[in-house]
Amino acid sequence: MQDSEFNVSDKVSKYIKVEDGYVIEQDGKVVLYSESISGASRSSNYIWVVLLFLGGFGFSTAGLSSYFRINLIPFRDFSGIDFIPQGILLLFYGTAAFLLSFLIFGLIRLDLGSGKNTFDINGQVVRLTRRGFPTFTNLKFNQQNILLVYPFSDIVNLELDITDGLNPTRIIFLCLKDGRRIPLTPSNQLNDLLFLEGRAIFIAKLLKVDLKLNNR
């Protein structure tokens, strides 16, 4: 944690570096809290890219071995299998795995879904920024940034959804008066439960709303 002090409008402000974000205090009170949200650039996605690429390479090589009747894989002979239908299916699955691995790698490079949650106590607003899909204009790609702004007065409460089982999820939701539930954390990222609960409690105190726990 790093602290630094500076003066703003004759008030002593303190910048506090916390995990995945920072806090700004004025006269001992929190006036702004900002947290970084990870996107597609995660280690798990890199692992998927490598696995899909290797799998695609293996399936494609096996399919080509069947087509040319030449063994291209040293540890197993696929040249003896029929190209139709086995060989062509192997080639199809290999090509699909190749394309999917390149697609995921592109999303990683763009870091799609990353951004920040900023809670402005003085301005009484919550700002959510996320990286979206790029657009192609004027013969070049432009990164799209999505900005969502919600006044404190529209926020009813905070919800922490915890789902166990084969597909566990841990998500903090911002619940609005119109019934919408805005996710503040990625749905496919499993954070430490104690860390996530502490973050949810801290945000609920900043917004001065109740925190609801949904454990399924």
| Residues 84 and 34 placed together within one structural domain of the fold | no
Structure tokens at 72: 């291209």
End-to-end CA distance of the chain: 34
The predicted structure's pLDDT at residue 3? 59
Amino acid at 79: S
| Residues 145 and 198 placed together within one structural domain of the fold | yes
| Residues 32 and 70 placed together within one structural domain of the fold | no
Number of domains in the chain: 2
| Residues 35 and 49 placed together within one structural domain of the fold | no
**Which of 88, 110, 132 delimits the end of a domain?**
110
| Residues 15 and 60 placed together within one structural domain of the fold | no
| Residues 104 and 81 placed together within one structural domain of the fold | yes
**Which of 57, 80, 110 delimits the end of a domain?**
110
| Residues 60 and 83 placed together within one structural domain of the fold | yes
The predicted structure's pLDDT at residue 7? 52
| Residues 106 and 160 placed together within one structural domain of the fold | no
H-helix segments, the chain = 43-68, 88-110, 193-207
**Which of 80, 110, 140 delimits the end of a domain?**
110
| Residues 122 and 206 placed together within one structural domain of the fold | yes
Output the CA angle 21-26-27, nearest 5 degrees: 135
Structure tokens at 19: 């995990």
Amino acid at 118: T
Find the CATH number of the domain harbouring 208: 2.30.29
| Residues 30 and 125 placed together within one structural domain of the fold | yes
| Residues 31 and 134 placed together within one structural domain of the fold | yes
The predicted structure's pLDDT at residue 6? 45
H-helix segments, 43-177 = 43-68, 88-110
Range(s) of the domain holding residue 47: 43-110
Rounded Cα gap, residues 96 and 119, in angstroms: 43
| Residues 97 and 168 placed together within one structural domain of the fold | no
92, 141, 86, 109: which is closest to 39 by C-alpha? 109
| Residue 188: CB atoms within 10 Å | 12
pLDDT in tens, the chain (216 residues): 455 554 545 566 788 888 778 899 888 889 999 999 888 888 888 999 999 999 999 899 888 888 888 887 777 777 777 888 888 898 999 999 999 999 999 889 888 889 999 999 999 999 999 988 877 776 677 778 899 999 999 999 999 988 877 777 889 999 999 999 999 988 766 677 788 888 999 999 999 999 998 877
Structure tokens at 127: 């700002």
The predicted structure's pLDDT at residue 117? 95
Rounded Cα gap, residues 75 and 81, in angstroms: 15
The predicted structure's pLDDT at residue 170? 86
